Structure 1
Amino acid sequence: MSEQEFVPPGVDPTQMSHARAYDYVLGGKNNYAVDREAAAQVIALAPDLPVLGKAQRRLLLRVTRMCAEQGIDQFLDIGAGIPTAPNVHETAKAVNPHSRVVYVDYDPLVTVHNSALLADGDGVASVEADVRDPDALMGDPRVSALIDFDRPLLVLFVGLFHLVADEHDPAGLIARFRDRMVPGSHMMLSQFCADGSDPAARAKLEEISADSPSPMCFRRREEIVRFFDGFQLMEPGVVDVQDWWPDEPAIPQTGLKVAAGVGTKL
């Protein structure tokens, strides 16, 4: 770690952070040596990892714009990660300046960066909370100040649930959020998928995250589809993230796979 790198209170710069490693993959600078080293080990086996990260980011912004154009004006981005421009609130507010956005992450460094970015933002907040405690998250006064669960909203779980182990019942957690959402709300979810992923790169990713607070958990596509129980899956269903929006410019296939889907609350 260089002497110039800022370390907020409560942050261990020697412990790899998924959010910071992802920031590095996307070309950001809010990361430490341990994050860069971890990402580099995976990129050595899967050189197209940055392509995959950017494909996921592109879909996130496309879905945000789609929902905003359909009249949704509130967005809950859970597992938001370190801010990368353009952001969800910039995309939503370009369609409707009155859109409200709450970014949620359990990583304190993410909250520090988001809070600084959003200091002057109107209708935008950053909350440090854990998806594994949905009642506390949805009950946080900073969330309830901006998000009205009695109106349609978009909930984003982008690159999040591969960091939630089966023992925490990810499907049950998603159901807790689904049950608070009214019909017409949308959910976007993406996560690393076992189907089609290069075994060596997958093993390396699992290995380097084993001692982190959230070890990596690849799931089969059929397991990810079940996360959408209670939602009407939009076409083309749960597919590789770069294939979800077929009318966009093609993105090459990658060695590691992220499956993504968008559902409408029934």
Structure 2
Amino acid sequence: MTSDDRGASSISTDEGPRSSRSGGAPGKPKRKQLPLWQETILLLGVALVLAIVIKTFFVQAFYIPSESMEPGLILNDRILIQKVSYWGDDEPERGDVVVFKDPGGWLSPIDAAGPTNPIAQAMAKIGLYPTGGHLVKRVIGVAGDTIQCCDEQGRLLVNGQPLEEDAYIKRMGAKCNGPMPTNGACDEDWKTGPIPEGHIFVMGDNRSRSADSSQHMCPTDVTECVPGDEFVPVDLVVGKVFVLLWPADRFRWDTRPSTFEDVPDPSS
């Protein structure tokens, strides 16, 4: 083999490297970028889907519609509820502050209507604005529990165990923690339970200003009342309050009061 032959063999594949230097890999068209308006619509669509998914399965915003949960939650406070705690077979526990749908007749037509502004209605559907037709109360008893008002110190008893509630309730001058809503007085003791399976008994923290389970009990002197309206079906519970979001200066995480840890299981 001559030197000319070696030179020829060394440059026989020169076309390949030359073509790659002149314009990149062949057969791969340059990726086309979406116009700005299309990217904006796409991002808005993704954000909308995420908002709906989050509202449906994880977190939803509500507001406090009355003074019934004072002093902890006051009128127009913005709260967030989380739904994960009640997935599967898990149900509300004593002491939880929960949001639930109106069991029927607990709210006035105005309170049940929800937002009337079209923008607010649209935002409510995706969880960015509070909806109407819901109540916020504290779970006092769960299935099987018996609740009684009151002991000599004015404390509620759950399965015979008195609750120490001074840290979070508002008595409004009442001498007990479970005044009859009809007159706001403690001149009549009451007892309810056992709570049926799949139901809870709820009360507001502002005991004299709350249309809660105690208000829907049958008075002792009424014979035509049907017992049971005081219990809220667990299926109507939307979620548990876990944060007071707004106003910002009152932001806090909501936790279950320790007094409920001492309540014994209901006797069989």
Whether the TM-score (by the shorter chain) exceeds 0.5 is no
TM-score under structure 2 normalisation? 0.23
Richer in helix (by share): 1
